[in-house]
Chain A
Amino acid sequence: MILKKENVQNLLDELSKSALVFVPKEVDGVLKFAPFKSADEMTLDIINTTLPPKDLLFPQTQKMYRYGIDADGKMYVDPSDDSAEQVVFGIRTCDMQSIVCMDDVFLTKGFVDEFYQAKRDKLLTVAIGCNKVAETCFCDSMGLDPQNSPTADIQLLEGDDAYSVVAQTEKGEKALESWKPFLSEGSVEVPKIECALKVDMTGVKDKLDRMFDHPIWEELSAKCLACGTCTYVCPTCHCFDISQENKMKDGVRFRCWDSCMFSEYTQMAGDHNPRPTKKERLRNRFMHKLCFFEDRYGKTLCVGCGRCVEKCPVSVDITCLIDQIGEFDV
C-alpha cells in the first residue's frame, strides 16, 4: 500500500481526532516532535530533530502524585496519570531504537515503571525511512538500518510523491484500518542509502571492559565542560531524579531528567561523591553507552543519531572515541 503525500495532512487530521499526533516540526526555532496542527508546517523531510522524541514517553518533568492535608486534616495522595493516546509520525530508525532501549530499562528485568508503561502502551509509532543522512549520522555502524525500523508499528518509506506503508506489529495492523481511506495500491522505489560517517564497533565493548583506569578519560575530559547538553539531546539517556515542590499544605512529587555529567548527580548524603570530577563522569557516560548497557541488556545504548556530536559545545565526539578505542592495544 502507499500513502500519497497529498493525503498526509488529511490522514493526520483524521488521526488527531482520537489521539495526540506528534510530528517533527520547528517550534520557536527548535526542531522537535510537537503536536500536529493542520495549519503548521511540518518538517517530515528533516533528517533529525534537535530534541529527540523521548519526552513523549519520558517527559523532562513528570508529575507522579499530589499529596497533602485535606480540609478534614487527613493526609491524601493522588496519583497522577497524564497518559493519553499518542501517535509519533515520522520517527527515524535511531530514535525508534532509543525506544527499544528505554523499554528495556523501564519495562524489563522485573521492574515495570508504571508512568512509562502507561504512556508506552498508548503510543503508536510510525517510522519513516531516511532518504538522506547528515554528516553526523552513524546509525548503520551501530547495527541499524536507516531505512528500516523493525520495532515500529508502521514503517513508511519515502518516494517522490508517496510513502510505502507496511504494518509491522498487531497494533500497526489495527491502526491501518483507520488509514484505509487515505491509502491506495502501488509501490514506491527507494534507493538504498548508507551513513557517510562510519565507526567500527568490533571489540570496543571488550576493550572498554579493561579500560576503566585508562588515561584516555583524563585526556578526553580535559575539554569537557561537564554541561548536560549531550545527555539532554540524547534519545537514549534516561536518568531521572525525584523531587518535590511544597506549597502550604499541598505538594507535588515529580521526576525530572537528570544528567550524569552534573556533579550533584552522584552527590551523597554526608557529602561523599564517588564521581568527584568530570573525568569520572565522562567515563561513566561513555561506559554506560558502549559497555555497561550491553552487560545488562545485550545492546549498545548509542543509536548513532549524532545529536551529541552535533551539539557538544567543545566537540567531544563519541565517534572519535570509538575510533581511538579501536586503535588501543588493551
Chain B
Amino acid sequence: MSAIEDKIRIRTKELLESGEVAEFIGWGKGRFENQTSPLFIKDPSRVDELVYNDYCVNTLGKYAYQMKGDGKIALCVRGCDARAINRMLSDKALNREDVYLLGIPCEGMRDRKTNEVLKKCQECRHHNPVVYDELLGEEVEFPLPENRFVEVEAIEQMSTQERADYFDTVFSKCIRCYACRDVCPCCTCNQCFVDQREADWQGKQSNIPENRFFGLTRAFHVGDRCIECGECERVCPMGLPLMSLNRKLIKDMNTLFGEFEAGMGDEGPDVLRTYKLDDVEEFM
C-alpha cells in the first residue's frame, strides 16, 4: 500500500512539474482516523498530502468529467474508477486525451468504522484497472464474486403484493438528496430530468410515488451503462439498496441479449443501443 502511495506522490510531482498535466486527483487525509477524502492538487509541492490506503472509498472517475476543459487531468484509477472513465469515453462525455491515468490494482476498500471490506468492493468484478497509462503495482488476482444477483432474485421471488410493499418501504426512506445521481459516472446529462422544471417530469414533493418515480427513472436512464461501481448505494444517506435496481436491469439484459458488462472498453456497442435482426421481441 505505502509503496503505491510513494509512487503516486513521485509520479504526481513529475507530471505536474513537467506540465504534462494541469491537475491531479487522488485522495488526501480526512479529519478522523482512517478517513480519506478526494484531493485535488495543482501545486507539485503539495504531493505529500496524497495518501493511498485501505480507506480510499471514493471513486474518482466522475471528477474527470466535472473538470473537463481545465487542461489535462491526471487521476488514480482502480477497476471502478477506470470503468467510470471508459463509461464517459463511450458516452463522449470525455476525450481520452483529457486524462492521464495512473492505474492501481485494488484489493478492496474498507469502512473506516467497522473495518469491513465495503459491500461495493466485495461485489467488485474488476479489481485491476481496465484502462490506464501506467500501472503503479502488480496486478492482483481475485476470484469473481459469487452470484451478484442474489438480492435481485430475492425480490423476484416475492409475490406482487410483497414486492409492492417492499418498494414502498424502500422509497418511503428516500429523502431526494440526489447523491446517487450526483456521484454516478453515468449521470452526465447537461440537465437531469429532475431539474427540467418546465417539463415537470418530476414533482418536487417527497412521497412514495414521486420518490419511486425518481428511483426507477434514474435506474432506467443508467440502463445498460451501469458499471456496477456501487457508489450510488455507498453514498445513499438512507441506505437504500440501489444496486438491486441496477442489477435487475443488468440481469434482464444478460438474459435477453447475452452477458454484457459496461465500461470494459471505450467503444460501444452497448446492448440497448444495438439493433440486431435476431433480437428478442417477445414484448412486441
Contact = CB atoms under 8 A, between A and B. Distances in A.
B37 A315 contact: yes
Binding site of B, secondary structure by majority: helix, strand, loop or mixed?
loop
Contacts of B183: 225, 227, 313
B213 interface: no
Contact of B205 (A197, A256, A264, A309): A256
Binding site of A, secondary structure by majority: helix, strand, loop or mixed?
loop
B38 A314 contact: yes
Interface string A286-310: 0000000000000000000000010
B237 A50 contact: yes
A28 interface: yes
A308 B169 CA distance: 24
B221 interface: no
Interface residues on A, range: 35 or more
A317 B31 contact: yes
Interface residues of B, number: 35
Contacts of A231: 177
Contacts of A241: 204
A169 interface: no
| Most central of B173, B204, B207, B239 by chain A CB within 10 Å | B204
Contacts of B181: 227
B197 A29 contact: no
A82 to B, nearest CB: 14
B40 A223 contact: yes
B178 interface: yes
Nearest to A258: B204
Contacts of B31: 197, 309, 315, 317, 319-320
A313 B206 contact: no
B182 interface: yes
Interface string B27-38: 000111001111
A319 B35 CA distance: 14
| Most central of B175, B207, B235 by chain A CB within 10 Å | B175
Interface in B208-263: 234-235, 237-239
A228 B177 contact: yes
Contact of A30 (B58, B179, B207, B238): B238
Interface of A: 28-30, 50-51, 60-61, 135-136, 197, 219, 222-223, 225-229, 231-233, 241, 243, 245, 254, 256-259, 262-264, 267, 309, 311, 313-317, 319-320
